[in-house]
Chain A
Amino acid sequence: MGLDFNVVPEFLDLILIGAMWTIAITLVAGAISLGGGVLFAVIALYGHWLVRYPIKFFAWLFMGTPLLLQLFLIYFGLVQVGIDLPAFVAGVIGLGLHFAVYNSDIIQAGILAVDKGQTEGGRTLGLSQFQTIYKIIVPQALRNTLPPIGNNIIALLKDSALVSVIGVTELIHASQLAISETFRPFEFYITAAVCYYAINLALEAILRKIENNAQIAR
């Protein structure tokens, strides 16, 4: 049997819901990966060893194991110790923390690249180290690392597909539901691919706009 995309419109609602979930996962996990990335980077560079070492250990753990395993651990594993997270929450936490570890590395390099005159400028005005870090150093580090962080967010969008395995009806999972009723994998996987591509383009456009806006302020 040949390709017949006429089967798709009937399931468009389902696919759109899937796309919405994919976008929601990307946005929330993306925010977690950014906030977490900043937090881990600041702790890794400035933190007391009592917090610095646990964070480094945690980063090492997240870098050394597959994302899929991390999602299983958070969703299925934590239930055993009484923490029963909804699939979406478990998914964005897993995905967010996983990419936070990668963002943290980039942001650390960004922080170290900020001229030390900036710290002196802040401290001389009477700002504390903490105030200087979060008002002066981190904003500049983020501006300077926007391109690689943007790449990570795009990678995160693609890896959001893994969250399907814990049962969130994002694009992949929605497609599979449609396929199980129609037995038309090719059509629905191609539809999903087109959706990913569209979301990707939108995301890239947004990231480029942010980068351009940041251009003058550096």
Chain B
Amino acid sequence: MSPTQPFINIRHAKKNYGDLEVLKDISLQVEKGQIVAIIGPSGSGKSTLLRAINDLDSLTEGEVWLEGMQVNKKLPTRQYEKHINKLRQEIGMVFQHFNLFPHLTVRENITLAPKMLKGLSNANANKLAQEQLERVGLGDRIDYYPSQLSGGQKQRVAIARALAMKPKVMLFDEATSSLDPELVEEVNLVMKQLAKENMTMIIVTHEMAFAQSVCDKVLFMDQGVVVEEGLPEIIFKTPQHERTKSFLANHLNGRF
């Protein structure tokens, strides 16, 4: 990787669903250790952009690069599968609805991929699970099933599961949107902790206060374009575009 290359580089991303243009030529650079928030109204394409980074949703056009490696490069199907499975190990993702595996314990949720993909022994995998759970404050829940946890705890387990793969970047898609208000803070605290540890993060969120307090850069999206991007204090305090202003005016309380 040349020193001038951004850590994550999205170039001219376009995504169509039939006639619907969901992403219209979006470019985004993220540096190592940077924390980027993506905000915008519902349907503006935030999730689609985030999910393009690990090719969960494939772009119609454009390129996604991670550390000088093209994520969505054109390869024959079999080779591409190998390539993308390898890359996804380095890109952690956290979903609005957690997507924990309900038939597995917390321990098994966390150790499944490290054991299958990295060949970790039982002992090492267990140690890893314990470490990651302690990182999110759930060291005592290792043998619980997801159904026995609160929403906030589920989401923290989901974060621990992603962290157990030792990812280079973490993607969050409205990680707190489906949580009861009193459970939001415990997840935010974990994310703030990751920020302190210099984890590179891209965070789609409806929580403006949180975005303002942890992020280095904010992207405001509307109808498939980045309307405005910049430092949080500028985007939130002195937005330049009408659309940004009216969106923020509707979100004064910090939550959608």
Q: Which residues of A are in contact with B by a Cβ distance under 8 Å?
A: 115, 117-118, 120-129, 131, 135-136, 139-140, 143, 214, 216-218
Contacts and interface: CB of A to CB of B under 8 A. Distances in A.
B66 to A, nearest CB: 13
B93 interface: yes
Contacts of B54: 124
A125 B161 CA distance: 9
B113 interface: yes
Interface in B85-135: 85-89, 91-93, 95, 97, 99-104, 112-113, 116-117
B81 interface: yes
A217 B99 contact: no
Contacts of B102: 140, 217-218
A136 B101 contact: yes
A218 B117 contact: no
A195 B161 CA distance: 50
Most buried by B among A115, A124, A131, A136: A124
A165 B185 CA distance: 69
Most buried by A among B85, B97, B147: B85
A122 B103 CA distance: 13
Q: Is the interface of B mostly helix, strand, loop or mixed?
A: mixed
Contact of B100 (A121, A124, A135, A216): A121
A120 B117 CA distance: 16
- CB-CB nearest 4 A-B residue pairs: A121-B99, A126-B89, A125-B113, A117-B99
A125 B112 contact: yes
B148 A216 contact: yes
B145 interface: yes
Contacts of B88: 123-126
B88 to A, nearest CB: 4
Contacts of A140: 101-103
Given A139-B103, A217-B145, A128 B95 contact: no
Most buried by B among A117, A125, A127, A143: A125
Interface in B62-95: 81, 85-89, 91-93, 95
12 contacts: A121-B99, A124-B56, A124-B92, A124-B93, A126-B85, A126-B87, A126-B117, A140-B103, A214-B103, A216-B145, A217-B147, A218-B147
B95 A117 contact: yes
A135 B101 CA distance: 10
Contacts of A128: 81, 85
A129 B103 CA distance: 18
Interface in B152-199: 161-162, 165
B56 A123 contact: yes
A1 to B, nearest CB: 58
Contacts of B165: 125-126
Given A118-B101, A126-B85, A143-B103, 6 more contacts: A120-B56, A120-B95, A125-B162, A126-B86, A127-B112, A217-B102
Contact of A131 (B99, B116, B161): B116
B113 A126 contact: yes
A115 B96 CA distance: 13
A135 B111 CA distance: 12
Contacts of A117: 95, 97, 99
A218 B103 contact: yes
Nearest to B164: A125
A127 B116 contact: yes
Most buried by A among B86, B88, B92: B88
Contacts of A218: 102-103, 147
A123 B85 CA distance: 7
Contacts of A125: 88-89, 112-113, 117, 161-162, 165
Nearest to B101: A136
